[in-house]
Amino acid sequence: MSKITWPAGTLLAPVPPALISSGTMEKPNVMTAAWTGVIASEPAMTYVSIRPSRYSHEIISKTKEFVINLPDISLARATDFCGVKSGRDIDKFQSCGLTPLASSKINTPQIKECPISLECQVTEIRTFGTHDMFIAKIIAVDIDDKYLSDKGAFNIQKANLLAYAHGFYYTLGRKIGKFGFSVEKKKTIRKRRQRQAQKDTH
Amino acid sequence: MSKITWPAGTLLAPVPPALISSGTMEKPNVMTAAWTGVIASEPAMTYVSIRPSRYSHEIISKTKEFVINLPDISLARATDFCGVKSGRDIDKFQSCGLTPLASSKINTPQIKECPISLECQVTEIRTFGTHDMFIAKIIAVDIDDKYLSDKGAFNIQKANLLAYAHGFYYTLGRKIGKFGFSVEKKKTIRKRRQRQAQKDTH
């Protein structure tokens, strides 16, 4: 193997093909954006980068709010469609069979069908070439309760989130390990396996 | 189903568990960071958020350069290890069997074993609570030539990239569709299938 060098590009992957909802319950809009990420843990800060030509750009610039909704694989077609079509021409919620759901802390509706929604309040808008970056505080996280365990833990694997990489949509595949697994003590691993075995026999 | 609301959190997924390399060929360092993303397409802009306590923070603040290296699944253990251990205490390149490889446009080495590396030049450092955000220009993209087709297209699926979601590492799974598949004309789909069928019989 050897590495070849390409000019500058945005080949960062995988990223979340997020459904960014904006507007109101009466007139909701949605667009797909993969240029998003976490900026800080405390306070929880995020961003989404949007081209100034987009209808969502116009709405979010005014309302200073948006919701990052993470689609599952059943929403792959809707996710692609909302990245291609403009809300200026059609009602994408209606075209895609999406349901606007009132958010808990902001006026912008979230998407009911998405397993995870992050309610965001814009703190700053910055221009970087092609895109404007909407930096925002995450002020609430809404999750579908059908993915919660009895103990209240969120099972993200069951949520079947969609991934995006270099122009293609993917499922998430096999779980490889938990954060910290490379330094886990053998005793801890043995204990966890015993617990799992007990669970499986009950 | 119904949605329940949690307080603010960073539940954005999947994200890339990127190996951020820094330093020099003689004294390279690496840390894992999933708080990264694309900010703009043209110029290609990205960022990585790093806690001020991290050794990489100290190095990148001085050199104003870093490389975002995307690990494949064979590097899962190294990726986890580099997120847990500090380069102040050990040489993580050596501990993990990683090879520093000279970059094409910057002095910071990339990681030879990663299928994709993005060479980045810091343009700005911003503080957001727990993390400092290193905003950067991507000035070159290095890819492993074994994933290139005869025509020079990069097959990202073969690269077996690692994904991170809510505390767990995953493989990428099944390919669901290409960007734009939801509005593709039936004629285009038919033609592509014919091409594929011809390919398969030759």
The pLDDT value recorded for residue A185 is 81
DSSP class of B154: B
Task: Note whether B178 contacts A167, CB cutoff 8 Å.
Answer: yes
Contacts of A181 in chain B (CB under 8 A): 77, 80, 169
pLDDT at A193: 75
Residue A4 maps to a domain: no
DSSP assignment, residue A146? G
> Could you tell me which residues come within 8 angstroms of residue A174 by beta carbon, excluding any fewer than 6 positions away?
B170, B171, B173
Query: What pLDDT, on a 0 to 100 scale, did the predictor assign at position A199?
Result: 67
Concatenated DSSP letters of B2-63: -EEEEES-----SB--EEEEEE-SSSEEEEEE--EEEEETTTTEEEEEE-TTSHHHHHHHHH
Note the pTM of the prediction, 2 decimals.
0.93
pLDDT tens per residue, range A57-71: 999 999 999 999 999
- Helix/strand/coil for B141: strand
- ipTM of the shown complex: 0.93
pLDDT category of residue B134 using cuts at 50, 70 and 90: very high
> DSSP 3-state assignment of A167?
coil
pLDDT confidence band for A201 (50 / 70 / 90): low
Distance of CA B199 to the CA centre of its chain: 32
Which residues are bridge partners to B171 per DSSP?
B162
Domain residues for B114?
Answer: 18-171
**Chain B partners within 8 Å of A141 (Cβ):** 5-9, 11
- Of A45-54, B38-47, B123-132, B187-196, give the lowest mean pLDDT range: B187-196
Report B:59-88 residues touching A (Cβ under 8 A). 68, 70, 73, 76-78, 80-81, 83-85
Enter the tokens of residue B159: 């690269």
> Hey, which bits of chain A come out as E strands?
3-7, 18-23, 28-33, 36-40, 45-50, 65-70, 100-101, 110-111, 116-128, 131-144, 162-165, 168-178
pLDDT digits (tens, 9 = 90+) for B8-58: 899 999 999 999 999 999 999 999 999 999 999 999 999 999 999 999 999
Residue A134's pLDDT is 98
Mean pLDDT over B86-101 rounds to 96
Question: What are the residues whose beta carbons fall under 8 Å from the beta carbon of A186, sequence distance 6 or more?
Answer: none
The answer to whether residue B28 sits within a structural domain is: yes
pLDDT of residue B85: 93
What are residue A35's phi and psi, to 5 degrees?
-85, 75
* CA A96 – CA A120 distance, rounded (Å): 23
A111 is a domain residue: yes
Closest Cα partner for B63 from B101, B25, B115?
B25
* Length of chain B as a residue count: 202
Domains: count for chain A: 1
Structural domain contains residue A201: no
Least trusted range by pLDDT, from B34-48, B74-88, B146-160: B146-160
Q: Is residue A149 part of a domain?
A: yes
- Bond prior to B7 in cis (omega within 30° of 0): no
A31 in any annotated domain = yes
> What pLDDT, on a 0 to 100 scale, did the predictor assign at position B192?
73
A118 within 8 A of B12, measured Cβ to Cβ: yes
Question: What are the start-end ranges of the H helices in A41-185?
Answer: 55-63, 76-84, 92-95
Averaged pLDDT for residues B59-64: 98
Res A52 pLDDT > 90: yes
For A:115-144, CB contacts with B below 8 A are 116-118, 128-131, 133, 137-144
Residue B42's domain is classified under what CATH number? Answer: 2.30.110.10
**Structural domain contains residue B188:** no
Segment A34-41 mean pLDDT: 98
Name every chain A residue with its beta carbon within 8 A of the beta carbon of B179. Answer: 80, 83, 167-169
Q: Is B193 contained in some domain?
A: no
